[in-house]
Amino acid sequence: MSGPPGRPLGGIRGPFKGFEEIRVLDFTKLLPGPYATQILADLGCRVTKIELPHFADGARTMPPMIDGVGSTFWMVNQGKECLRVNFREPDGLKRVRALAAEADVLIEGFRPGLMDRVGLGAEDLMALNPRLIYASLTGYPEGGPWRRKAGHDLNFLAVSGFLAAGGGAPSMPATQVADLAGSLAATASILAALVERGATGRGRRVTVSMAETAHSLLPIPLGEALAEGRDPDGPRWWNGAHPFYRLYETAGGGRLAVAALEKSFALALLDALGLERLRGLADDPLAHAETLAAEIGRVLRGAAAAEWEERLKDKDVCVTRVLGLGEARAFMDRLRTEARRTT
């Protein structure tokens, strides 16, 4: 596929020299695996997406559509060669095994055991190609009792503690956090294995569980739970209790993200809002959270979010406007364009 990617994914601005020699076989579908191999493609790797003719990637037809394919598929399959081959049949299997014999990386996202049953398991292909890095992206740990349990992103976030970590009633995340974090972990593991192969001359097996990766995204709440011997209860500084680290409403219904955690930022914000009289409370903002939040909120409700963005643009206060998707896309495009002009 070709066309403007609407990214780069993960802030990557490739391609990088040397990656054009890396050949990747992609047996994944939907979002997690394709996001990982999209990053590899953005780096410059030669990615071949393998699909069964009768069981293609379901994201291809998932509306809404862009250029004749589902928008999700379009977003995470740019610059890949797409090859439909029935590897469940002898001729197709022979063809895919020949590709694997020359590949550097293979990534698959099936339930454990399926690739072995069709003759494309890790042990078999790594015997055929000792330099192959064979990566599996799974929902739950591959060797554990839930290795074959069906699941999607919301399930992985639920069992990882992610959904409950914010205190109060769990809420739906804005995107597939576990899927995408698992993708990034898989990409990092594959790149590490490529570096290792440069030293040893041999590939290795790589496995990444999305549930485990989601759990690893909670260093602050998990750390507090371990330190206190119990789960954090109620709002904490990182989920709304801190008056200098929360979302505030503005006139007209817009919102500002205030993240003035350090005292210097907090003092600068109070000064910028005309609240100099509250500077003494910034020594212990959590102890004075109610007073600070009420006053900051009162002032911010006096103007629209865009007006505050303009007023504060030259202030060192860690305040940004909460953008809608269309605004965010235009903003990121502008940032990238301006960055290219100065590098």
Looking at the annotation, which residues are catalytic? 179
Q: Are the C-beta atoms of residues 172 and 217 closer than 8 Å to each other?
A: no
Cβ 81 vs Cβ 48: under 8 Å:
yes
β partners of residue 23: 46
Cβ proximity of 292 and 299 under 8 Å:
no
DSSP 55-118: B--GGGG-SSEETTEEHHHHHH-TT-EEEE--TTSHHHHHHHHHHHHH-SEEEE-SPTTHHHHT
Look up residue 274 and give its amino acid. G
**CB-CB contact of 311 with 272 (8 Å):** yes
Element (H, E) at 37: helix 32-43
